[in-house]
Structure 1
Amino acid sequence: MENFIVSARKYRPATFETVVGQQHITGTLKNAIKNNQLAQAFLFCGPRGVGKTTCARILAKTINCTNPTAEMEACGQCDNCQSFQNGHSFNVHELDAASNNSVDDIRSLIEQVRIPPQAGKYKIYIIDEVHMLSQSAFNAFLKTLEEPPSYAIFILATTEKHKILPTILSRCQIFDFNRIQVEDISSHLATIAQRENIAFESDGLHIIAQKADGGLRDALSMFDQIASYANKNITYKAVIDNLNILDYDYFFKLTSFLTAAEVSQTLLLFDEILNNGFDGNNFINGLATHFRNLLVGKDAATIKLLEVSENIKQKYLDQCRQTELSFLLTALNLANTCDLNYKNSKNQRLQVELALIKMCHIRSVVHLAQQPLSTSNTATDQDQDKKKTSLSKVEDEKPKIEQSSVIEPVPQKNTSVTEQQPVIPTSISLEEKPKETPKVAAIPSATSISINIPKANPASTLIPSLNDLERVANGEDDGKPKTVTGEAREPFSYDRLLEVWNKYVQILKAADKINLFTILNNFAPILLSPVLIEISVESKTQEQFVQQESVELMNFLRNELQNFAIDITFKQVERKLENRLYGNREKYEYLVNKNPKLEDLRRRFNLDINP
């Protein structure tokens, strides 16, 4: 136990070549040393555990090495390298700004800067967690950082660059360290496992690399922990048990249940996951990640985004071929909504179960939505042929109609006669017609027409929403019309337009839509052409607000005016406001303009006007 050293320290890189995943940084630093173009100050930024302090120490050792290699690496044999490796170098000073952040600590460092190096060419000052310095300490450090002695080099390291003063940033060469890739961490862990004679499974190391979130130090800490837990046999099962991670198999099995619409099996599997001690929020996030991986696996160009081992990647590729794109997109949306509502829900388990039940019905809902659409297209073509035939018969019978009795016609669905009436889904008799229907000459009794209007299928005009799965699954409908169709082109006057316009405005007022009521009530509509109506608004915001309600407005105008070619446009205008009289002087001048004798009266009595 006395000789044990954690892997993060034991295998800490000692040369630029051994730094993992930061080749863009190490390559730049080696070229700067080779060309003798070292800056006065460096700032290393990036997440924790990615090699900032390590690179700072390697740089400090390399620039003082007396026998560097051809690749600009420290030799490790000279006196400067040996003293640095043993921790006795007088040319390298490290300061932890988290615990030494006062102005006195910086003044002490500045005093040390004045002393030139006794051995070696440079004196290097490494300040870790530099963002923790106080404001006064930063200000005391500015002048020395801008104009240090030729032998002094400052290397600052921080995880929060945004907390550093811009005046400090402008005096440094900034190097941004990236999060280390999953594959780089996994291969590095495999190398260490081989050196330590630790048996491992590549899937287990891959899970550790994913859990580390780009930090190699975190990965090495978990590696040591699991090696002790599994007695130097790192398996996939040991990793997920020790790190409390949901097994991939759960998500693969759950996805097969969801696509097969097996609600009971889905809920039982979720209950098993909860009983194993996993949180519902972590589960739903993991499920969303699983759907995301299936989505990127469907395209050969995005397969590289699957940051999993080869065995798991093959499972993803197999399942994504059996899963439709529509299912994945809808399930991702449901999982994201569940995640957003999870923390605010009082019954969090029910929130997740409801999302899973909806996912089970995705396929049936999409099928139900698409089936009527495919049949309605054929039916529409047949209806068009029937309409043309019936209309031609009516044209032939026109001369005979003029002498017949008067009845009220029954409009057909999607007909192009001059008057379009609402579709009534029953067989209509003459007594059931609306009183407002204009009367025309009817066909004689010998050629009278009986019209049965079928019920409109709601699914033929609107795709069902997933927000109400039970209603859609049962084929129920709220009975409200979903679309307004027609081909009537009845001309109308401007007075009739104003009458219908005012009627709609009053409907808005009764419905408490005060904002829309105010906008439409401020200006009367303008009839630019027989079918184009101009609406005046005072701002772009009002125009966008009216556009949101434009569908209902146009449907109302088209139905009332019986002209389905009506369209609306917008024009931005300024409302002319009357000049208001606020002060006594303005009021007096207003009265004098009306009666000039008022000024003579004021002068005669020597009156003053109060301000």
Structure 2
Amino acid sequence: MENYIVSARKYRPSTFASVVGQKALTATLRNSISKNRLAHAYLFCGSRGVGKTSCARIFAKTINCRHRNTDGEACNECDSCREFNKGASLNIVELDAASNNGIDDMKNIIDQVQVPPVNADYRVFIIDEVHMLSNAAFNAFLKTLEEPPSYVVFILATTEKHKVLPTILSRCQIYDFNRITIQDMVDHLSYVATQEGIIAEPAALNVIARKADGAMRDALSIFDQVAASSMGNVTYASAIDNLNILDYEYYNRLIEAFLTGNIVDALLIYKEIREKGFDSLFFINGLAQHLRDLMVAGNPKTMCLLEASDQTREALAKVAAKCQPTFIYNAISLCNKADLDYRTASNKQLLVELTLIKLCQLLSPSPHESGAGEGQLRPIKPSAQAPQATTTATTAPQPIASDQQATYGN
């Protein structure tokens, strides 16, 4: 029986061309290799799952390849490439700084720097999560990082560049990795589904990509989870059920309730959402995100800011056409206020329900359009039993008695 390998490992990039969503960056790295303009230290920065460590390994393999192809990729046939692919290369050293962050670990790296490469041109040291190094380790590393032997290349990777010492940053070429776009993730997930013989709806892949929040590794892990639960038939319904995601339909029903001022429907929809097990803070943030999507979908110029499939964009545009911009702006503001107040509220359910009531009253007649829910004030009609005052313009006001003045003064 063949051992199962998760998609995040099985489809991990092995060439620059297979790296998802980083075309400009990988093109720069390939050009620097082909022109033999290699720096002695690189710093790869970016959020999790965007390909930093994968690119570091590909770069390390490629600079030692004996027969690179015309695209600047490693041949995978020379001795150096074969040793790397087997995980037996002595010329590539990896250190996880999250668990090896002391000065002794760094001294060990400094000692290894003095050993020349074996049957290759370079020794490459990949230090992952470099921001986790202690200050003592950073200081011990500085001199070696600044003036390493000619055959040494350092590749540092971090998710938190702001935690790396400025003295380290100044000694490196810095490459910032982009968050992977929804469309790039959907395209790659579609390729993986084809390779694995899995049927996957584009709408379902879009849901998975949005859930991954810009991380390709997370998207592949979520894809495996949904594919396993749906027996190889990944549908939109199975994706939102498995990932516990609120369907757009709930938010669209709420928008309809807001536009018609139907408080009863809004509260009942919220009750339905809570009974499905969704957290109230998750709900209010999801509603704010949906309103934001409607805001950008309402104008063709800002439609590009909406990371969604064409089908989803069209559906959001239809809903957005029913909403005035001021309504959406005020609604987003109310949701944002509810998010800020949520952590300190003693009755969180009441806070959300009050927010929904205010959202339903946003379009009520109000001179201020404040969203506070106040209605148009009407003049109070005099009662039939009330006596009519008959005063004339020439009637002078009666002076207040001295004893009354004394009383008020006290």
Name the TM-score, length of structure 2 as normaliser.
Answer: 0.89
2:383 counterpart of 1:475:
no
Residues 5-16 of structure 1: pairs in structure 2 closer than 5 A:
5-16=5-16
Query: 1:117, 1:252 → 2: CA distance?
Result: 62
Residues 67-146 of structure 1: pairs in structure 2 closer than 5 A:
67-146=67-146
Tell me how large the CA RMSD over aligned residues is.
1.5
Query: 1:363, 1:466 → 2: CA distance?
Result: 8
Unaligned runs of 5+ in 2: 381-410
Point out which structure has higher relative CO (alpha carbons under 8 A, 6+ apart): 2
2:236 counterpart of 1:236:
yes
Q: 1:252 corresponds to which residue?
A: 252
| Cα-to-partner distance string for 1:438-465 (whole Å, 9 max, x where unaligned) | xxxxxxxxxxxxxxxxxxxxxxxxx465
Q: 1:43 corresponds to which residue?
A: 43
Residues 386-535 of structure 1: pairs in structure 2 closer than 5 A:
463=368, 465-467=370-372, 469=374, 472-473=375-376, 475=378
Q: 1:338 corresponds to which residue?
A: 338
Query: 2:88, 2:305 → 1: CA distance?
Result: 46
Residues 194-593 of structure 1: pairs in structure 2 closer than 5 A:
194-366=194-366, 369=367, 463=368, 465-467=370-372, 469=374, 472-473=375-376, 475=378
Query: 2:227, 2:371 → 1: CA distance?
Result: 47
Alignment check: 8 A CA contact 2:45 2:159 kept: yes
Alignment check: 8 A CA contact 1:365 1:466 kept: no
Q: 2:395 corresponds to which residue?
A: none
Larger radius of gyration: 1
> One-letter code of the match for 2:180?
I
Q: 2:399 corresponds to which residue?
A: none
> One-letter code of the match for 2:309?
S
| Cα-to-partner distance string for 1:382-404 (whole Å, 9 max, x where unaligned) | xxxxxxxxxxxxxxxxxxxxxxx
Query: 1:326, 1:136 → 2: CA distance?
Result: 55
Distance change >3 Å, CA 465–CA 175, structure 1 → 2: closer
Alignment check: 8 A CA contact 2:362 2:373 kept: no
> One-letter code of the match for 2:253?
K
2:29 counterpart of 1:25:
no
Greater Cα offset, 214-223 or 260-269: 260-269
Q: 1:184 corresponds to which residue?
A: 184
Distance change >3 Å, CA 464–CA 39, structure 1 → 2: closer
Distance change >3 Å, CA 43–CA 263, structure 1 → 2: same
| Cα-to-partner distance string for 1:390-430 (whole Å, 9 max, x where unaligned) | xxxxxxxxxxxxxxxxxxxxxxxxxxxxxxxxxxxxxxxxx
Query: 2:202, 2:316 → 1: CA distance?
Result: 17
> One-letter code of the match for 1:353?
E
Greater Cα offset, 100-109 or 60-69: 100-109
Match of 2:363, SS? helix
- Following TM superposition, the consecutive aligned residue runs of length 4 or more in structure 1 with deviations greater than 6 angstroms are none
Unaligned runs of 5+ in 1: 370-462, 478-611
Distance change >3 Å, CA 15–CA 134, structure 1 → 2: same
Q: 2:389 corresponds to which residue?
A: none
Query: 1:266, 1:97 → 2: CA distance?
Result: 50
Match of 1:44, SS? strand
Instruction: Give the Å deviation of 1:265.
Output: 1.3
Distance change >3 Å, CA 49–CA 467, structure 1 → 2: same
Query: 2:170, 2:370 → 1: CA distance?
Result: 55
Query: 1:87, 1:167 → 2: CA distance?
Result: 33
> One-letter code of the match for 2:131?
H
Query: 2:352, 2:84 → 1: CA distance?
Result: 57
Q: 2:396 corresponds to which residue?
A: none
Alignment check: 8 A CA contact 2:297 2:306 kept: yes
Instruction: Give the Å deviation of 1:467.
Output: 2.7
Instruction: Give the Å deviation of 1:101.
Output: 1.6
Query: 1:189, 1:337 → 2: CA distance?
Result: 37
Percent of aligned positions that are identical: 52
Q: 2:172 corresponds to which residue?
A: 172
Match of 2:365, SS? helix
Query: 1:306, 1:135 → 2: CA distance?
Result: 42
